[in-house]
A and B are shown apart, each in its own frame.
Chain A
C-alpha cells in the first residue's frame, strides 16, 4: 500500500498528489512515469512523475480529472492509501547540452516537463519554457519555472496572458528568435504534442514528445500501447514514452486512444453514484 502524503486541486480539474513510494523515488529520472491503481478494483493508469524526493521517498504527480480512475484519485485525502504505484517505467528523457531548448507544456505536461527542464538547465542549456492553457487561471508552477528558465512564454487561447491562440502561434515566435533553437520538447495532451510538432517541423527543430497511449502493464507485456514511429510499430511503455514528434503517426495514436471511449462513460452513465465516488468511500 502506498500512502498519500498530500493532495490538492491546483487549478480547476488539475490535481497534484504526492505519494510515498520510496523504491520508485530512488530510481526516478526525468521523463519517466509510474502506473498506479486508485483502489483494488481499479484500472492501471499511467501518469508522469513531475517531481520526487529520493530522501523522503516521495513522488509528485499532476493529473487531469478525466475519467473514473483520475476521478477517484482526485478524491484521495492526506493519509489515505492506494494499492499500486509501480515504476519508474519507460525510458528517461535524454538530457544533454543541446544549446537552446524550447520546452512546451500544456495541461499535466507543464508539471511533467519540470524535472526535464531542471536537468537540462543543470547541463547548461538555455531554457525557453512555453506554458499553454485555455486561460491564464489554468496555469500553474509559473514561479517554479521562472527560477530555472531563461525565458517563460505564455500562450492562452483567450488571450488573458501572453500570446493569444494555440501552440501554432509559436510559429512567429520561433521565426523572430535571434539565437536558433536547437531542440524542442513537448509534453501534454496528444493534440498539443501533434500541433506542436507540426509547428516546429518547418524549422527543422528536433522535437521530442512524450506519448500517452492507453496502457495496462507498462512493461512490454500487453502491446496495447503500440504506436507507429517512422512506419515501425513500437511499444510506448518500453521503447518510449519519448519519441521524435516528426516521426509519430498521430492519426493512429489519436484513433487508438479512442478505443474505449464508449465504455469509459458507462460508469458515469449507469448512475452518478455506483460508478465512482461512492466506491472510494466504502
Chain B
C-alpha cells in the first residue's frame, strides 16, 4: 500500500517542513495583531515543492471538503498561483480562513504520507498563502452568476455554514438573503475567534464578496423573534438554518455569578465583536484583570487565555485532563505556552470565592488523576481525595462548551430536535424533518469546526438547488 513505492525517483525526499514566520512571543503577547505572518513566495514554493504528488493522495481523504490538495500545491510549486486559487475555490469558498483555523494536524496533514516521517506538507499554510496572494493582487474576480431562476432562499445565521450556502446558491442563479442576529456577519469568525488568530479584515473581505455577488445581507434580525421561520417561508422558497451553537454552558458551581466571572462568549464578544481592546475609543468596556483563570482546554479556552494575557493578566488554563487530551489545536497550545500562559492540568474547579463587594477573589480546585478510558476513549479524570487547594484570581472565564440556542426549535413547530438541543438534519444533504427547511453546521452537529460547517453548507446548497429546480 505504500504510496512512496510509486513515487518517481526524481528527487530525494525533503522532510524539512518550511517554517512560517511568526511574531516573537515577547512582542505578540502585548499586541492584538496576527501572530502567524504567512509564507513569503519563496518559502511557499519550496514547501510546495516537497509534496511528492501522490497518485492516490491520502491528504485529500481527510479534508472534509475534499480539496484537490496535490493539485493546488503543484500550482504553487510551478508558480501558477492564479490556477491554484481556482482549484481551492472549487471546493472551499473561504480558503484564507480555513488555511488559518482548520485543525490541519488532525485532518489533511495528519494523513499526508510524509507525516509518518514527521515531514508532512504544511497544507494549511499553503492554502493560506494562495488565498492571501489572491487578496494582495487586489483584483477581485467575481464568478459568473448563472441565469436568474426567480427562486428565493433565506439563510438564517451569517456564520461559515450560512455564508457557504449563500455563496453557492447565488452563483446558481437564486436570490439569497442572509438574516443575522448580531450587527455583523461572520458568526464565530467575527465574534469568537480573536483578531490575533483571524484578522477581521479577512472575514470582512469574504462577506463583502458575497455582497458584491448580490447576496442580500440583513443584520440585526433575530429569526424566531423579529420574524419566525414559518413567516419567512411565506416569502421564500427554501430556508437554510445555520444558527451555530451559541448557548454558553456554565459549571453550576458556587460563586459563578460573582463579578469577574464570564462565559467565554461574553469575554470574546466584548473583545472581538465590540472591540473592547480599543475601549474607550469604542464604547464597550472589558476589564484588565491581573490574575485570570480560564476553565477548559479547547480552542475557545486558548483564545480566552491568550486574550487575557494580551490585556496584561497572569493567565492560567485550568483543565481537568492532561496535556495529551487537550482538544485545542496543537499549534494554538504551543502558541499559548510560548506566550506565557500557565497550564494547570488535572485540575477541577470546585467553587469561586468572592470579596464583600461581590468580586471573585479566589478559586478552589481539586487535583485529578487519570483513570480508565471513558466513552470518548480518553482516560477519565478522577478526583484525588483531599487535594483541594486555592489560588488567587480577579477574573475567570468559563470555556467549557456551548450548545445550540433553542430559539429556532422553540418557534418552529414540527422541526425535529436531537438529544443535545440540536436540529436533526440529514448529514448528506442537510434536510430536516420539515419540507423546505435545511440545516447545517454547529446547530446540527454541536460545536465543531469551521470546515465542517462549510462542508455541511455546501451539501445543503446542492440539495436546495436540486429541490428548487424540480419544484
Contact of A223 among B183, B220, B265, B406 (CB under 8 A): B265
Q: Is the CB of B181 within 8 A of A86?
A: yes
Given that A24-B226, A222-B266, A233-B257 are known contacts, is A83 also in contact with B183, CB under 8 Å in the complex? Answer: yes
**A:41-96 near B, CB below 8 Å:** 41-44, 68-69, 83-89
The verdict on A151 contacting chain B, using a C-beta distance below 8 Å, is no
Chain B residue, CB-CB nearest to A43: B283
**Binary CB contact string for chain B from 435 to 467 against chain A (1 if under 8 A, 0 otherwise):** 000000000000000000000000000000000
The verdict on A27 contacting chain B, using a C-beta distance below 8 Å, is yes
Q: Is the CB of A85 within 8 A of B283?
A: no
Q: Is the CB of B405 within 8 A of A221?
A: yes
Give B373 Cβ to nearest chain A Cβ, in Å.
32
CA distance A251 to B258 in the complex (A): 11
**B:249-288 near A, CB below 8 Å:** 250, 252, 256-257, 259-260, 262-263, 265-266, 269-270, 274-275, 279-287
The verdict on A259 contacting chain B, using a C-beta distance below 8 Å, is yes
Q: Which residues of A contact B287 (CB under 8 A)?
A: 259-260, 263
Given that A84-B183, A263-B285 are known contacts, is A220 also in contact with B358, CB under 8 Å in the complex? Answer: no
Give A40 Cβ to nearest chain B Cβ, in Å.
9
CA distance A58 to B263 in the complex (A): 35
CA distance A238 to B257 in the complex (A): 17
Q: Is the CB of B226 within 8 A of A86?
A: yes
Given that A219-B407, A267-B280 are known contacts, is A255 also in contact with B285, CB under 8 Å in the complex? Answer: no
Give A69 Cβ to nearest chain B Cβ, in Å.
6
Q: Is the CB of B259 within 8 A of A258?
A: yes
Contact of A44 among B183, B246, B259, B260 (CB under 8 A): B183
Contact of B274 among A44, A68, A252 (CB under 8 A): A44
Q: Is the CB of B265 within 8 A of A43?
A: no
**A:84-141 near B, CB below 8 Å:** 84-89
The residue among B274, B280, B281 with the most chain A CB atoms within 10 A of its own CB is: B280
Q: Which residues of B contact A260 (CB under 8 A)?
A: 285, 287
Q: Which residues of B contact A222 (CB under 8 A)?
A: 248, 263, 265-266, 269
Determine the main DSSP class of B at the interface with A. loop
The verdict on A9 contacting chain B, using a C-beta distance below 8 Å, is no
Q: Is the CB of A220 within 8 A of B405?
A: yes
The verdict on B222 contacting chain A, using a C-beta distance below 8 Å, is yes
Q: Is the CB of B358 within 8 A of A42?
A: no
CA distance A90 to B246 in the complex (A): 17
Given that A238-B407, A263-B279 are known contacts, is A221 also in contact with B269, CB under 8 Å in the complex? Answer: yes
Q: Is the CB of B270 within 8 A of A216?
A: yes
Q: Is the CB of B221 within 8 A of A23?
A: yes
Q: Which residues of A contact B283 (CB under 8 A)?
A: 41-43, 68-69, 267
CA distance A218 to B219 in the complex (A): 14
Give A147 Cβ to nearest chain B Cβ, in Å.
31
B contact residues vs A (CB 8 Å cutoff)? 181-183, 219-222, 225-227, 246-248, 250, 252, 256-257, 259-260, 262-263, 265-266, 269-270, 274-275, 279-287, 357-358, 405-407
Instruction: Rank and list the top 5 A-B pairs by shortest CB-CB distance, nearest first.
Output: A263-B285, A255-B358, A223-B263, A43-B283, A222-B266
| 11 additional contacts (CB under 8 A) given A233-B250, A266-B285 | A24-B226, A27-B227, A41-B281, A42-B283, A44-B183, A220-B246, A220-B247, A222-B248, A255-B357, A256-B358, A259-B287
